[in-house]
Amino acid sequence: MPSTDVINQIGLSHYLVLSAALFTMGFLGVLMRRNVLVMMMCIELMLNAVNLTFIAFSKFSGRIDGQIMVFFVMTIAAAEAAVGLAIIVSIFKRYREVNIRFFEHLKG
Amino acid sequence: MTADAFIFWFLSLVAVTSGLSVVMMANPIYSALSLAMTMVSLAALFATLGAYFIAGVQVIVYAGAVMVLFVIVLMLFDLREETKAFTRGQVSGALKIAMIGFLAGLIVMVMAQGVKFLAAPDVVDAAKLPEDSSKALGLVLFNRHIFGFEALGVLLLVVAVGTVALARSKGGTHAKH
Amino acid sequence: MPLGGVLFLTIFIALFGTLLIFLARAMGGDQTRNQTGVKFDPYECGIPGQEKKDTKVSVKFYLTAILFILFDIEIIFMYPWAITFRDFIEAGAGTAVGLSMLIFLLIFIFGLFWEIKSKALEWD
Amino acid sequence: MGQDIFEITINGIKLIVIFLLMVQAVPILVWVERRGSAFIQNRLGPNRVGPLGLMQLLADAVKFLNKEDFLPRKAVRALFYTAPVYALIPGVIAYCAIPLGTPLQIEAFEMAGKMWGPYTFAMQGFDIGVGIVFILGISSLAAYTILMAGWGSGNKFSLMGALRASAQIISYELALGLSIVGVIMLYGTFNLTDMVLAQQGPMSFSFMGNQVVIPWLPNWGLFYQPLGFILFFAATFAESNRLPFDLAEGEAELVAGFHTEYGGFKMLMFFIGEYAHMMIAAGLVTTFFFGGYLVPGFTPAEIREFVAQNLASTPNGISAITSVIHLLAYFVKFALFLWFFIHVRWTLPRFRYDQLMDLGWKTMLPWALFNTILTAVVIYVAYNFA
Amino acid sequence: MNHSLLMAILLLSPFVGFLINGARYRKNGPNLAGWLATTAIAISFICSILLVADLIGMPAESRRIAVSFFDWIVIDKLKVAAGFVVDPISAIMILVITGVGTLIHMFSIGYMHHDKGVAKYFAYLNLFVFNMLILVLGDSLLTMFVGWEGVGLCSYLLIGFWFTDKDKAAAGMKAFITNRIGDAAFLLGMFILFMTYGTLNFFDLNQLAPTVPEASWLGAATLGTLMLFIGATGKSAQIPLYVWLPDAMAGPTPVSALIHAATMVTAGVYMIVRLNAMFIAAPNTLMIIAVIGAATAVMAASIGMTQWDIKKVLAYSTVSQLGYMFLAAGVGAFGVAMFHLMTHAFFKALMFLGSGSVIHAMHEEQDIRKMGALKKYMPITHITFFFGWLAIIGMPPFAGFFSKDEILWKAMTSPLGHPLLWAAGVLGAVMTAFYMTRLMALTFWGKSRVPKEVHPHESPALMTIPLIVLGLLSIVGGWLGINHAISSILPGHPANVLEHWLGPVLREPSLDGVHHSVTMEWALMGVSVGLAALSAFVAYHFYVRSPETPKKIAESLGPVYRLISKKYLVDELYFGVIINPLIAFSKNLWHHVDVQVIDKTTYLLADLMKGGGSVVRTLQTGNMQQYAMYIGLGLVAVLSFVLMR
């Protein structure tokens, strides 16, 4: 890499590092939080981080397909959130519980 | 610092801060609101990359719809401050954190390698994309990705039917504990 | 890039609003610290507030929100089509794109009418 | 924001001016609403303070400022205070994306020993390429204000009001978003300025290979999208929580909805937010369906020509006067729609909640779908059977 | 209207019909379902006509309407588009499929009126037409294969339509399995051609086909086409895979008319004509095709002479006529094969529908020994059947005469032909005339042997109108391909329309340097027609004048007659030589290899797994976060590997 001006020359790697940071944060949340809803939010955060890489690669490789992938990922994420929340709500309605450790009882 | 660089650093600061607070906040409602904030700042970052339409969709779909749903559910359930927000296992907790750290390092290293491959001068040509890419997006979407488009339509239909069925369910067949 | 303007205005309004809050507090007096008396109870038309632990809120709200997400995405999917439809027609691909969108719309319509028929959208 | 310090400064000032104008418009609108409602209901309305009661605005502002700051016992402090401040943001930012006039062009000039310019200042907060998507996205964030306020108040009526209001807003956002699809298809762009410019001149279009010109009608979107207009306009009423859709604050059931616990200046900020949404609605209707800032019967080029011949001689002057003329044209249309909003409020009764949801999901959404399909078919036929 | 739209409507209209009737198969009544299905096919027919009209308007050399909807499969070299082509060959097919299909659908409304599953029946029928259209319109072998499998499925569903009858269900199964054998060969052929030529597109393959005929038996063209031909013997009921077609008569009669006479069974012929250049490049394959075609024609005809079931006779007749088509294709006369395909579609559909009408009238009785003298009860059925009869035995000027005669002529004179092939063809024609006359005589003429409780009646108009239309087509259908000899004596010398139509797209062996006199043509024609007429007369004499004679002859022939009437014991042969040994072998395998070796091994493995599982099961705690951690660990491993590499 010829350019050394890390602060002013914003390039692909900046976006990638940012997205890596967000991704790991989300993953940490999935591993550490107890609330199922928060875990789902952390999954959304991870998906968003991945979206950022898609967009960054799309921009820096000059192909629009990355943006379309993001479009699709968003759809899938929304569908996932809808179904996931529906499941959580039906469990909550019955047991008044959102702790992930409680969900262990659902094991067959 | 140039204006573009300033915007990038500012937005990434916002994104990282709010992302951290998603994970760290004990009150799930604050988590959700922080996540909405992250999503908006990510949308702005998309805009810095020229993906204006996707940025708009990010705000509409994620911040304006999915997170609203989360907040509504949280408020419906009346979930407030949690005393035990984090799982506490001595060994597994340490293992998890160690793994996350290791993973973060690995991801950055892999990306650094990947960028090296991508950095061939003919590939990194940001001028290839038009400044306003929404029309190009539509053209490509309906040419090359038309099948995925239709499939997602069906997926959404299935999810719509499924969630209604789930929401109607009385919550399982077993006796209450 | 207009992004700078958006950021600037956002920060400006946030600061402005905060300033107003503090200005109002300075002028009208701060009653937020010692909350004593009936005055600070939740306002429920003057009747003493009562709170049951198990408040039942209709699940309808959340169902509406879920359906909103799904239909919202389908509508968003129409935007790239709407913006390029005339280009496709001029390029001679109007029939194919129109038909594929018609299929999508039929799925949408089917979903909508299924929801209506299954009474998922009934409020009482 | 701009290339150099001059442009950045001017743009910054422009944004602040637009914001302050919007804030200032609210008391005026409140006055108009009170006088107007009095007029409609055969009363007098505020008429004591100042001429025609105009000074009532100032008196109200002073009163608001002097209310004591108040936090209910069960409230969540952070949310309770963030909500009103946040209420201002989406409305104002979204409004800034609407074009208000032809751009102001300034020739190159010398200042402080340096050459500056030439500059082009758009007569809008910021010119966003994907204007509609931006506005929809930003205004969809308004739901958070309501939820934050409703939850933060720690009052069950507030929460119920907030849930109702947010469910209502998101439901009508569907009809709103779908009714625009026809408009987007008509103009083939997301950009609001391009949309406005597409509406200049007399009504003309090509249909099945024939060029049709109707000289006595302006080329406004209204005539191409009548159904879309009705749906869009109705949905914006619901979006801005105005009557007949103000279910969120139905006094009989919910005390006052999500802002039950609010008073003083915080309440005023919610007010500003609500009126900002009304202004966005009026601005968008003007832009989509009524030619935006265009003067009916004259294209911007004709007006510029007229100004150059009769009113001004320097290029800067020509550009400025042209912009002002268009700005005025815009504000006339804009004000008409604002009045329409007010008029409707004092004309129609309120819906019941189930009627409201039925209207949104079972009536407007299918009709908006129909409008979309109809537009697509008409465009397809108009282009293909030449 | 542009072509892609027309093509889409043409293809999707039957599919939409299928969806509607399929979705409401319990609710739609016979009239609604029937008319819906008929309308769907009629729309397709109109689209076909519009497309073909456009095609006629094009210059002869470039007659091709190609529509590609989207890229279906793109894997490296394999690029298959969802592409559909109307050219002179497929034009004939779509007209026949949708045209005859419409008539048969209409007939079905009357025929199936009292059936419970009528909506299901029409749904299947529409699905069949949809698949058949894909088969004939597809522009590559793979697209064709989709339709090929699809029609196989529909054929199975429709043969076993009355699946509560075990025999009928078994007949469906037999058809399906027999076809499977052919399909495997078809796939192999496809692989060979793709490996060699790198494409599956018909037009590319025809372009790439070797211009010098391949002498070797192991050349790619020969092997590939041979495999494809084996596939065709399955679908088109040729030796050795013809056995399913007679059993397939278990299905409703209109199905037999549509699928097992007019359209599906001709798919093999169509496929060969489609790949004409490739087949021409493989003369060895063509020789086999010609021999098998001739053998099938003779053998099926001989079986047909001994059958008593009206539909079985027609089924063997179909097999025999398909043999003629393969004979034509085998001597390189692809155009004539298409010609006979078309005329056969008319008259055989007519005869099947006629037999359906008879069966309907006789209250599901199919045995011709219990019929006779139906002429007076069913005049319209009789007269139309009469035309079909004249057409199939090759009496001028009916449709069958022109096409069959042309086949015989080509069998004799083509460079790939041989006098023996001609002789076999004539023998087949003579036998055809005999058994068809026998069928005619036993069913419609002579003395009535109808049981007393049965009161035959003419069928309703819904059923007779298709018969009349098809009867007319059986008369005039052959006039599209009048040969040179006849043309030379007719006023105005009508041209051979079909030859001009198909000529530009076919690569047939050149007839240059081979001169045959018109006299010889007349002579050959005279011989075949004369023999056929004689045979018909003999049959008439036997079965109307002196019904005792056939029995005597049958008795005097003894074992030969029994062999033929038992269909040469081919089914039994297959059972004895292939199926039973296979079952025995499988049983041995099961007892000794499967139980002793494989099962024991798997049990051992299973026990190991069980043991291992009880150890690993402790990992499945139900704690999702642990699972997520495992995912993370996997990610770490993968990333480490990427970095180490």
Q: Distance between CA atoms of D209 and D231, rounded to whole angstroms?
A: 30
Q: D326 vs chain B: nearest CA distance in angstroms? A: 27
Contact criterion met (CB below 8 Å) for E629 and B92:
yes
pLDDT digits (tens, 9 = 90+) for E61-103: 888 888 888 888 888 788 888 889 998 999 999 999 999 999 9
B29 and B55 assigned to the same domain: yes
C73 closest CB neighbour out of A78, A85, A93: A78
B60 and B93 assigned to the same domain: no
B1 and B73 assigned to the same domain: yes
Q: What structural domains does chain A harbor?
A: 12-106 (1.10.287.3510)
Q: Which of D22, D126, D253 to mutate to test the interface with C (most CBs of C within 10 A)?
A: D126
φ, ψ of residue B25 in degrees (nearest 5): -65, 135
Contact criterion met (CB below 8 Å) for E86 and E51:
yes
Count Cβ atoms below 10 Å from residue D335 Cβ, excluding itself: 15
Strand, coil or helix: what is D385?
coil
D to A contact (≥3 Cβ pairs closer than 8 Å): no
Q: Distance between CA atoms of D4 and B2, rounded to whole angstroms?
A: 11
Does D50 reside within a domain? no
Give yes or no for B17 touching D (CB within 8 A).
Answer: no
The answer for A 22-41 residues in CB contact with B (under 8 A) is: 22-29, 31-35, 37-38, 40-41
Give yes or no for B70 touching D (CB within 8 A).
Answer: no
Does D53 reside within a domain? no
Instruction: Tell me the pLDDT band of B123, cut-offs 50, 70 and 90.
Output: very low
Q: Closest chain E residue to A30 measured between Cα atoms? A: E625
Amino acid identity of residue D228, one-letter, is: G
Does D12 reside within a domain? no
Q: Closest chain B residue to A78 measured between Cα atoms? A: B66
Q: Do C95 and E69 touch (CB under 8 A)?
A: no
pLDDT digits (tens, 9 = 90+) for E123-147: 999 999 999 999 999 999 999 999 9
Residue E437 has pLDDT above 50, yes or no: yes
B124 and B91 assigned to the same domain: yes
Residue E415 has pLDDT above 70, yes or no: yes
What confidence score (pLDDT) does residue E524 get? Answer: 85
Burial of D276 (0-12, 13-18, 19+ CB in 10 A): buried
What confidence score (pLDDT) does residue D119 get? Answer: 84
Q: A84 vs chain B: nearest CA distance in angstroms? A: 9
Sort out which chain C residues have CB atoms less than 8 A from D173's CB and list them: 68, 72
Does B113 reside within a domain? yes
Residue B132 has pLDDT above 70, yes or no: no
Residue E384 has pLDDT above 60, yes or no: yes
Q: Do B22 and A42 touch (CB under 8 A)?
A: yes
User: Which chains have at least 3 CB atom pairs separated by less than 8 Å from chain B?
Assistant: A, C, D, E
pLDDT digits (tens, 9 = 90+) for D109-118: 887 778 887 8
What confidence score (pLDDT) does residue E230 get? Answer: 93
Does B176 reside within a domain? no
Q: Closest chain B residue to C118 measured between Cα atoms? A: B164
Does B48 reside within a domain? yes
Count Cβ atoms below 10 Å from residue D17 Cβ, excluding itself: 11
Does D52 reside within a domain? no
Q: D335 vs chain C: nearest CA distance in angstroms? A: 24
Q: A76 vs chain C: nearest CA distance in angstroms? A: 10
Mean pLDDT, rounded, of chain B:
79
Q: C121 vs chain D: nearest CA distance in angstroms? A: 8
What confidence score (pLDDT) does residue E586 get? Answer: 84
Residue B82 has pLDDT above 70, yes or no: no
B4 and B49 assigned to the same domain: yes
Does D31 reside within a domain? no
Q: Cα E516 to chain center, whole Å? A: 34
Q: Do B66 and A38 touch (CB under 8 A)?
A: no
Contact criterion met (CB below 8 Å) for E365 and E359:
yes
Give yes or no for C99 touching E (CB within 8 A).
Answer: yes
Q: Distance between CA atoms of D83 and D158, rounded to whole angstroms?
A: 13
Sort out which chain C residues have CB atoms less than 8 A from E71's CB and list them: none
Lowest average pLDDT, out of C30-34, D39-43, E114-118, goes to C30-34
Lowest average pLDDT, out of D162-171, D223-232, E488-497, goes to E488-497
B65 and B139 assigned to the same domain: no
Does B175 reside within a domain? no
CATH code, domain carrying B45: 1.20.120.1200
CA neighbor of C7 nearest in space, from E170, B11, A43? B11
What confidence score (pLDDT) does residue B167 get? Answer: 76
Sort out which chain D residues have CB atoms less than 8 A from B156's CB and list them: none
B to C contact (≥3 Cβ pairs closer than 8 Å): yes
Q: Do C90 and D383 touch (CB under 8 A)?
A: yes
**D361 or E569, which is more confident:** D361
Does D67 reside within a domain? no
Q: C6 vs chain D: nearest CA distance in angstroms? A: 7
Number of domains composing chain D? 1
CA neighbor of E343 nearest in space, from E288, E269, E271, E285? E269
Number of domains composing chain B? 3
Residue E400 has pLDDT above 50, yes or no: yes
Does B177 reside within a domain? no
Burial of B138 (0-12, 13-18, 19+ CB in 10 A): buried
Instruction: Tell me the pLDDT band of B84, cut-offs 50, 70 and 90.
Output: low
Give yes or no for A91 touching C (CB within 8 A).
Answer: no
Contact criterion met (CB below 8 Å) for E331 and E421:
yes
What confidence score (pLDDT) does residue A1 get? Answer: 46
As for the ipTM of the complex, it is 0.77
Q: Distance between CA atoms of C26 and C34, rounded to whole angstroms?
A: 16
- Domain residue limits at D302: 73-384
What confidence score (pLDDT) does residue B177 get? Answer: 45
Q: Do B153 and C74 touch (CB under 8 A)?
A: yes
Sort out which chain D residues have CB atoms less than 8 A from C83's CB and list them: 184-185, 188-190
Q: D263 vs chain B: nearest CA distance in angstroms? A: 23
Count Cβ atoms below 10 Å from residue E635 Cβ, excluding itself: 15
Give yes or no for D184 touching C (CB within 8 A).
Answer: yes
Q: How many contacts does B have with E, using Cβ atoms within 8 A?
A: 31
pLDDT digits (tens, 9 = 90+) for D289-340: 998 888 888 888 888 888 888 887 888 888 889 999 999 999 999 999 999 9
Q: Do C76 and B61 touch (CB under 8 A)?
A: yes
Residue with the two structure tokens 């379902």: E33
The answer for D 87-126 residues in CB contact with C (under 8 A) is: 88-89, 92-93, 96, 125-126
What confidence score (pLDDT) does residue B13 get? Answer: 92
Please give the DSSP secondary-structure letter assigned to residue D248: G
- Domain residue limits at B60: 1-86
Give yes or no for B44 touching D (CB within 8 A).
Answer: no
B15 and B64 assigned to the same domain: yes
Residue with the two structure tokens 């003067």: D295
B57 and B124 assigned to the same domain: no
Q: Closest chain E residue to A32 measured between Cα atoms? A: E625
pLDDT digits (tens, 9 = 90+) for E500-553: 888 888 887 766 556 667 788 888 888 888 888 998 888 888 888 777 777 777
B59 and B80 assigned to the same domain: yes
**E493 or E625, which is more confident:** E625
A106 closest CB neighbour out of E621, E622, E629: E622
Does B153 reside within a domain? yes
Q: Distance between CA atoms of E215 and E224, rounded to whole angstroms?
A: 14
DSSP E strand boundaries for chain A: none
Structure token pair of residue B2: 């140039």
User: Which chains have at least 3 CB atom pairs separated by less than 8 Å from chain D?
Assistant: B, C
Q: Distance between CA atoms of E19 and B152, rounded to whole angstroms?
A: 21
pTM of the model: 0.66
